[in-house]
Amino acid sequence: MQALLLAANQSTPSNYLPVVLQLVVAIGFVIFMLGLTHLLGPKRNTSDKLINFESGIPSVGNARQPMAIKYFLVAILFVLFDVEVIFFYPYAVNFRELGTEGFFAVLMFVAFFLCGFIYILKKGALEWEE
**Helices 95-123 and 69-86, packing angle to 10 deg:** 160
Least confident of 3-7, 54-58, 66-70, 76-80: 3-7
Question: Dihedrals φ, ψ of 117, to 5°?
Answer: -65, -40
Helix, strand, or coil (residue 8)? helix
Report all structural domains of the chain as residue ranges with CATH numbers, in order of start.
2-56+66-123 (1.20.58)
Report how far residue 38's alpha carbon sits from residue 106's, in angstroms, rounded to the nearest whole number.
54
pLDDT of residue 8: 56
How much of the chain, in percent, has pLDDT values that exceed 70? 88
120, 126 Cβ separation under 8 angstroms: yes
